[in-house]
A and B are shown apart, each in its own frame.
Chain A
Amino acid sequence: MNRRFSFILLGLSLKLQQTARQHPVFRAHIAGRDITAQIKLAGGRQGRHFRFKNGKISSRKGVHPDPDVCLTFSDAAAAVKLLGPEIRIRLGMSRSGLQLVMPPKDAQEQIDAIKNFRVDVQGDEAHAAWFVECLNLLQSSGWKCGTELGNGVTRYVSNTQGGPLFVHVKDGRILRMMPIDHEDEDAAPWTIEARGRRFSPPRKTTLSPFALGWKSLVYSPDRLLYPMKRVDFDPEGERNCHRRGVSGYERISWDEALDIVAGEIKRVKRDHGPGAILTSTGAHHSFGNLGHYLSAHRRFSQLLGTTDVFQNPHSFEGWAWGAVNHWGNSLRRGAGEPYGTVEDALKHCEMMVFWAGDPESSSGLYAAFEGTLRRQWLKELGVEMVHIDPFYNHTAAFLGGKWIAPRPDTGNVLALAIAHVWITEELYDHGYVENRTTGFDVWRAYILGQTDGTAKTPEWQQAETGVPAEDVRALARRWGRRKTYLAAGAMGNAMGGACRSATGIEWARSMVCLMAMQGLGKPGVNMANMSDGAPVDTRFFFPGYAEGGLSGDLAGTSLALNMYQRMPQLPTINSVSQKIALRRLPEAILEGQCTGFTADPKTIEGQFAKASYPAAGYAPAQLYYKYGGSHIGTASESNRYVEMYRSDKLSFVVNQSIWKEGEANFADILLPACTQFERWDISEFANAGGIMQHAFTRANSRVITLQHKCIEPLGESKSDYNIFWELSKRLGMGAVFSEGCSELDWCKRMFDASDLPDVISWEAFLKKGYYVVPPPEAELRAPCAFRWFAEDRPKDVPETAPLPADYTEAFRRGLQTQSGKVEFEASSLKRFAPDDPERLPIPTYIPSWEGHRTTALYAKYPLQLITPHPRFSFHTMHDGKDGAMVDVEEHRMWVDGYPYWIVRLNADDAADRDISTGDLVKVFNDRGAIICAALATRRLRAGTALSFSNSSTYDPIGEPGRSPDRGGCVNLLSSKRNIIRNSHATAPNSCLVQINSWTPGP
């Protein structure tokens, strides 16, 4: 008999009864449960059982012969030590005087005990999960959250892709959502002194427009509120796969839905074997480190064993497949270092060249309008602005400056001509090129025409881009003589726009080469657009949304970097190594095979690895567990995906989605997930750690949020985590999936795993909902990006990349490239495929495979359609759904009572077609057709049409996959072709179309 064990069990019984007396939440949990739970030592030597009945708890010493659920420890020492940190910690922290147990230890012990079978749970899965929840509620029942504002209104906190916000709730209903005005106790922001002025941001956060539309999405009529089954789907009989996308749905119970899904999972595993289950997600998910698809969904799919669909670096294509070869930065998908550029630009920058980048639309990715103020400061300082974009974009409209509008897909030609002026007029940094780069002579010879007989002059480019030669010459001269920031892409040093075109790889490569000629990293000479690089504290640790969360996935997420050690959890390993390239998913299903480059970002060479489907020995994928409905709106040539769904080669499709939209209309079973406002989560403003380290430098203040469960889930919807947990229980792995933890328990685990406990108590953080990390003293700010490199010093910016093995001379000396320098002629490409005409070792002129040089197609489809990242949605997440954004007249336009997607045309092109703003038009090519509302504008160069990407609504006017879509999925029109063969890369900005007036049929 171990007395300490006995005492803990006695204390536990008292604590259970006390909690039931004190906390309604706990009483609600135990109400209606009639079971006996037991905690004992193996072999029945010692134990105690707990009887739950009619909301009452009784407890007796001794081992019960037939409990409903039993927690068994291998030995008393283990039990005392490992009873579970929950029980031990909660007892230790309680005010009931039961502080007689061991001091709290970290979760590592619990994980070790589980792995070594020192603790086990027997009995019914549902009862076991319920009992473990009981134990956890001993702690969390007393937790309080939110701030009372009076009048019955409580202020909660949440976070979104467009910034953190306050959520005001009254009577269980959301009243409003708004940006966070900091309180007096919150840390004051930084101040930068530059050019005789002091610059400091206000004590508040900004929000993206789409974040202000969230309330309307929570209460959208398109919400899935109940589990649904397609009316003509019968898992025991006719499945009618060809009816997907056409047939309606009927409401079913959660039990029925989960039984069908679990039954189908078991069926395909039993009948076909490993690999038969296919799963994919969109590129983004509702915000939160735990509920994110790289967290909860990944944990579930890893435990399930799935054929995964691997994504291409959608928004980074040219950088990931091109720029990395010249300057490394593979872990950032070819983007540059983000540090210190706000201060450097305020102090030194004389000109900023925005090139295919519109930060006022893309919000610096996740960072709302935090960078807007900093760009206003540059304007106030008189910094000259240039905007290179076929569209007079929102940044140009906001800041003004010189507009240069090349024909889409020809930006690289303009870049080569700039290099020509610099070389012929000696306007580049000779010392830098000599000491900090390699291969310049090869590129120089090419630029001058010594290699191919064509000098890449401004006149040569004019025929290609349509930009007057004198404008290019003037730009090159001003750039060559001034301290200039190149603000390329949405982030300033990558992402979006031109990099997502047939010439996007060459363009992004040239961007790096141009900056190497001008002394990248010298004061005032860098790549950034003020969207990131604010002087916030990079030393304070809080994980990003892509840092693995609770996934347990060491191989496929960034978990190993920080969180596996900081937040010990059961590892999860997907036993199925078969995978499918997202851009070839329809071919994989319909034709049974495909290949794709996997683009592992850990090294430069990661882009050269190829995966083939099917993998040897695996079953063909046939059960599709789809998460959300975004592929039709975001993938290319996406009628293919519709065809795939309507094939019986997918014998079962389940879609877990918040809204009934897009592909959700092609599922057999629909599982209703709730929004992040209806569940617990934890996250930080703009922290995309795991994908982009220190992305929070985009925010003016680091704001870490406890995402409150502001309201109960609507209808019968459940959090993603709880849906997976329910399914896991049916597959006998509920405990493995959950580790016995609710979402709020996981929030606490992640809080404990971060640096937050050093500065704020859990109770205070939970109640208030956010914490503002103080900025560091000026001398402790992260140094400016690439300054160390320009000055040939050891790397001093605080990023952990590249991997130690990727340094050539010494750790932290030089870039990730083989030479450690910027390579005009990339050694990685010389090793991989030196003769690849689509990607030679130096960036060269390669005409677009779908542009004005593809003359036959161009004659048929004379408009170049570009589809940049949207301003009023993030991915497909905030579009449609009858939400607020459909009333933004620059996003959708109401015609005859329907909110149509918008296509912008040059006013002359529109007049030629007798099209006026507000007219319905058909935008089409051989791949498909969409119906849009036209917007005639002078903001586009002639011959160009623009329609922002990522409609959430697929609404074919006839047979799905074979008729025009009036939902606005512009990607029905873009080619499935990879940018180059040796890639898995999409080129939606290379898309020839025709646009005609359209009248609805009878």
Chain B
Amino acid sequence: MKKASMIIDAEKCNGCHNCFLACKDEFSGNDWLPYSAAQPRHGAKWLDLQVTERGAYPMLDVTYLPVPCQHCDNAPCLADDAVYRRADGIVLIDPEKAKGNEGLARLCPYGVISWNPEQKLAQKCTFCAHLIDAGWDAPRCVQACPTGALAFSFSEEEATSPAGGDAAVLHPEYQTSPRIAYHGLHRINRCFAGGSVIRKTNGYSECVEGAKVTLFLGAEPVAETVTDGFGDFKFDNLLQGRSSYVVEVTKAGYAAVSKQFDLVTSIYLGKIELLEL
């Protein structure tokens, strides 16, 4: 049996919203019964493009994360009689049976079921099942994505989850076995710590390239890097909320410098000056 699944690469998303807009184009004003009733003209986010900023000037990054219905194999919404999971794994809300059932929207821990006040209907992404059944290769969001951040698969593989390798599910703690997996989630749920190394020469400042920077957690060295041409260094994929980090900067001919910090959120440690020995 073919199974539908999707891999989303957060680092490839440029935030253009084409996925969100293609979804609106397909469903707003169009009834695709028995799969879905029309999306309202405004307000629905069957695909929610969530943006995360980490860090601060001059070192930050921005990540866009497309979050449609995760089409979970173990979907909490299936507790409702109006929701069913097809053999191919696509989870659908029956627009007839779901009429008037506002509580249905609250069953989803990912918050991707929205309430259509016009139709009095809980609605969500259908993986464009009406198109897949008609032989289309991919849902509209995937077809409209210019960067390849969204990849749809409809294959015979029996894998229960697309997660594996670098790909991970969003919020594994929900334990719902989503059919969507992500690359690059560390840009959402991990922190970075970065800084810049400078030195003074002939009275003016210069960036220091090639300085060795070691990250310690307590007394334990956990990562190592060297500064780039702008003297910048960045440690990523760090767990939030761990305190007592230390960076130590060393370079031949200069005194080592250490800086201690707590990692409440991603942090730019500022300019760290090396002094000549």
* Contact surface of A with B, Cβ cutoff 8 Å: 175-179, 181, 206-209, 212-213, 215-216, 219, 360, 368-369, 372-373, 376, 384, 392, 394, 396-398, 400, 402-405, 458-459, 468-471, 473-475, 477-478, 871-872, 882, 884-888, 890, 894, 937-939, 941-942
Contacts and interface: CB of A to CB of B under 8 A. Distances in A.
A177 B15 contact: no
Given A468-B271, A471-B230, A474-B230, A177 B25 contact: yes
Interface string B151-187: 0000000000000000000000000000000000000
Interface centre among A212, A884, A937, A939 (most CB of B within 10 A): A212
A392 B43 CA distance: 28
Contacts of B231: 470, 474
B58 A404 contact: yes
Interface centre among A175, A405, A471 (most CB of B within 10 A): A471
Nearest to B13: A398
Given A216-B24, A402-B232, A887-B43, A392 B60 contact: yes
Contacts of A872: 17
B30 A403 contact: no
B204 A403 contact: no
Contacts of A471: 58, 207, 230
Nearest to B271: A468
Contacts of A360: 14-16
Contacts of B41: 216, 882
Nearest to B21: A212
B58 A212 contact: no
A402 B146 CA distance: 24
8 contacts: A207-B146, A215-B29, A372-B146, A392-B57, A471-B58, A474-B229, A886-B42, A888-B21
Given A397-B63, A473-B205, A871-B16, 20 more contacts: A176-B25, A176-B26, A178-B143, A179-B144, A207-B18, A209-B16, A212-B24, A212-B25, A360-B16, A369-B146, A372-B14, A400-B61, A402-B230, A403-B58, A403-B60, A473-B206, A477-B229, A478-B229, A884-B24, A887-B43
A403 B56 CA distance: 11
Contacts of A405: 57-58
A468 B53 CA distance: 23
Contact of A398 (B15, B20, B198, B209): B15
B53 A939 contact: yes
Given A175-B30, A209-B18, A887 B143 contact: no
Given A397-B15, A474-B206, A178 B58 contact: no
Contacts of A368: 146
Nearest to A371: B146
Contact of B57 (A372, A403, A469): A403
B147 A372 contact: yes
A178 B230 contact: no
A890 B64 CA distance: 12
Contacts of A939: 53, 60, 62
Contacts of A372: 14, 146-147
A400 B234 CA distance: 12
A212 B144 contact: yes
A941 B207 contact: no
B55 interface: yes
* Top 7 A-B pairs, shortest CB-CB distance: A369-B146, A397-B62, A470-B205, A212-B21, A474-B207, A398-B14, A206-B146
Contacts of B206: 470, 473-474
Contacts of B232: 402
B42 A887 contact: yes
A473 B43 contact: no
Contacts of B15: 360, 394, 397-398, 890
A436 B76 CA distance: 70
Contacts of B28: 215-216, 884
Given A360-B16, A403-B60, A884-B21, A219 B143 contact: no
Contacts of A176: 25-26, 30, 140
Contacts of A468: 205, 271
B147 A369 contact: yes
B147 A209 contact: no
B72 interface: no
B267 to A, nearest CB: 12
Contacts of B26: 176
B257 to A, nearest CB: 16
B25 to A, nearest CB: 5
Contacts of B193: none
B82 interface: no
Contact of B147 (A376, A396, A400, A887): A376
A212 B204 CA distance: 52
Contacts of B229: 384, 474, 477-478
Contacts of A458: 204
Nearest to A384: B229
Interface centre among B146, B204, B207 (most CB of A within 10 A): B146
Contacts of B51: 890
Interface centre among B12, B14, B26 (most CB of A within 10 A): B14
Contacts of A475: 230
A687 to B, nearest CB: 20
A902 to B, nearest CB: 13
A394 B25 contact: no
Contact of A179 (B17, B55, B143, B209): B143
Interface centre among A215, A404, A459, A475 (most CB of B within 10 A): A215
A474 B42 CA distance: 48
Contacts of A884: 21, 24-25, 28
A470 B207 contact: yes
Contacts of B43: 887, 894
Nearest to A457: B204
A887 B43 CA distance: 7
Given A209-B16, A471-B207, A181 B146 contact: no
Contacts of A888: 17, 20-21
Given A175-B30, A882-B41, A213 B16 contact: no
A469 B147 CA distance: 36
B19 to A, nearest CB: 9
Nearest to A212: B21
B42 A894 contact: yes
A938 B53 contact: yes
A656 to B, nearest CB: 27
A178 B53 CA distance: 30
Contacts of A216: 24-25, 28, 41
A938 B52 CA distance: 11
B21 A213 contact: yes
A397 B42 contact: no
Interface in B49-92: 51, 53, 55-64
Interface string B120-162: 0000000000000000000010011011000000000000000
A397 B147 CA distance: 14
A872 B55 CA distance: 26
B8 to A, nearest CB: 15
A368 B30 CA distance: 26
A206 B209 CA distance: 40
A178 B140 contact: yes
Nearest to B40: A887
Contact of A469 (B12, B55, B59, B205): B205
Nearest to A150: B134
B238 interface: no
B108 interface: no
B107 interface: no
Contacts of B209: 474
A403 B54 CA distance: 14
A405 B268 CA distance: 15
A469 B144 CA distance: 43
Given A471-B207, A888-B17, A938 B24 contact: no
B200 to A, nearest CB: 9
A734 B198 CA distance: 74
A887 to B, nearest CB: 6
B22 interface: yes
B60 to A, nearest CB: 5
